Homo-oligomer: A and B are copies of this chain.
Amino acid sequence: MTNTRPNFVRNCWYVAGWDYEFTAGKPHPRTFLAEPVVFYRKGDGTLVAMADRCVHRLAPLSLGRLEGDDIRCMYHGMRFTADGKCVEIPGQDMIPSSACIQTYPVVEKGSWAWIWMGDPHLADAALLPDARGLDDPVWVLKSGQLDYAAPHELINDNLLDLSHLAYVHVASFGATPGWITQQPRTTQIERGVRVERWVESAPPLPPLPSLAAYESVDMWASYEFLIPGVFLMYTSLHPPGTAKGSNHAAPAGDVLFSNFTCQAVTPLTAGSSRYFFSWGPGSQFGGEEIAQQMIDVAMAAFLEDKLIIEAQARIIAMSPGEKIMPNAADRTVTIFQRMMERMKHPASTSS
């Protein structure tokens, strides 16, 4: 066994889960970035995360016992505070200062729990993506998640090139050729890209009475894709012809319907990933029922993605040395990949 570990972007917030996953009163084991991590809530509800590995003999703390705000390894009984500091070694008075568990900054914001697995001094809540919570007043959001037997990079690539909608998601999203013919405008932003486009002649979905009057609509889709793999998309529907009058700019006039989705990709290991997502209508356009319809459609679509991406991962694993051949639609993919690469090698950014 060598000392090499997979190379991930580290100085960023990864989604660790939904706040409702981390129930109080017990430790929750996870694997992120190929590292074992244990989460638990302190008495005041604060979520903490630390390496799921006792310093003593590397047994998982997640099989341990919560004692107040501390966690005790239930192999030989070492006890640690939520700061990772050892405060008891059974049968031994002296506690070496090196008996510390690595902790990770964690923030909960709007239903999402985020973890920072890089230099903790750089962890800055100001860098948190603006993912909305399930209780956001502007949107009615439902949530879900899926695990992939595929590297997170392939899922990022997928989300950065929505031309795949016209092939992968015809059945689920009713996606139209407009996703190919109408090129998006890509703008590089702080820690990511913004991708905006009009899709003309889109189907008037979901099947709302207010949309029934239209044979087709114009759709404005604008998303940010942020380091390390967070997708925030605003979509709105407009009367036919709006796109033509817009000169490729964001819509100004009537909105027939709007919806919002947050999606986030977190590597479990180098070859497996967890995909978190929410979706739903603007609260003035729909309630729980529409939101449930939308998340059901999204789940069906994401299973379509999972099928092709996991198959792609298997082909890549069988094909060492085979190179990809990017096309015009991949410009955004390539921009983002380069941002990720630069963040893996921070030293080279200063040169």
Q: Which residues of A contact B (CB under 8 A)?
A: 1-5, 31, 34-36, 52-53, 55-60, 63, 72-78, 89-92, 96, 98-99, 157, 161, 163-164, 166-168, 180-181, 183, 307-308, 311-312, 314-322, 324-329
Contacts and interface: CB of A to CB of B under 8 A. Distances in A.
A260 B92 CA distance: 29
Contact of A329 (B52, B60, B76): B76
A189 to B, nearest CB: 23
The 10 nearest A-B residue pairs measured at CB = A3-B321, A92-B328, A59-B312, A90-B180, A55-B325, A91-B180, A74-B167, A1-B320, A77-B167, A60-B311
B58 A316 contact: yes
24 contacts: A1-B320, A2-B320, A3-B320, A36-B315, A36-B318, A36-B319, A53-B319, A56-B327, A57-B312, A57-B324, A59-B315, A60-B311, A60-B312, A60-B314, A74-B168, A75-B164, A75-B167, A75-B308, A76-B164, A78-B327, A90-B166, A91-B163, A91-B327, A91-B328
A320 B89 CA distance: 25
B58 A307 contact: no
A338 B149 CA distance: 41
Interface of A is mostly: loop
Given A1-B320, A4-B320, A315-B36, A325 B56 contact: yes
A98 B164 contact: no
Contacts of A315: 36, 52-53, 58-60
B76 A325 contact: no
A318 B56 contact: no
**Count of chain copies:** 3
Nearest to A333: B57
